[in-house]
Amino acid sequence: SHLIEKNPAKAKQFNDTLADVYRYILQNKGRNLVLLREEIAFLQNYFDLLKIRFENALQFINTVDDSFYDTVLIPPISLQTLMENAVKHNEFSDASPLLIEMKIENDMLQFKNTLRKKKLRKISSRIGLTNLNERYKLTTEKEIQYTEKENVFVVQLPILHTIS
């Protein structure tokens, strides 16, 4: 309600974008694969919601070439899961933003974020990554890969190409 009182235009934008996010989830929850174009549009809507909440504390850089948008398939809601995990498990602020980057390299969609683990947190069960990996194995017969280094967390998602 604070957003409605403080900035009605932004509240309307938030509401409209939230409706788009829910619509995508409802329309695609039963599908095995979606075009990368659809998934990136959904991810951008989700990121827009996060930006309204966190403002300059989040940065997202997508360097996936447009030529992949209509030729690559991935399980729906995969990218949102990764962005949600990055936000959930890391500390960030306007002064020290969370940087999330996405690119395609060697038939893998690479999703990378700065790693600044929350100090007061439960030990992660990695249930989000485990569930995502299970979906990938069922759908693509391939597994996701992830690595954690000193200050970066990287998840690599196998991609499938559409039949031309």
Q: Among 22-31, 109-118, 123-132, 141-150, name the one with the lowest average pLDDT.
A: 123-132
**pTM of the predicted structure, to 2 decimals:** 0.88
Q: Do the beta carbons of residue 39 and residue 83 sit within 8 Å?
A: no
Region 126-136: mean pLDDT is 90
DSSP 45-78: HHHHHHHHHHGGGEEEEE---GGGTTTEEE-TTH
Band of residue 128 on the pLDDT scale cut at 50, 70, 90: confident
Per-domain residue ranges of the chain: 2-161
Question: Is residue 109 within 8 Å of residue 159, measured between CB atoms?
Answer: yes
CATH code reported for the domain at 2-161: 3.30.565
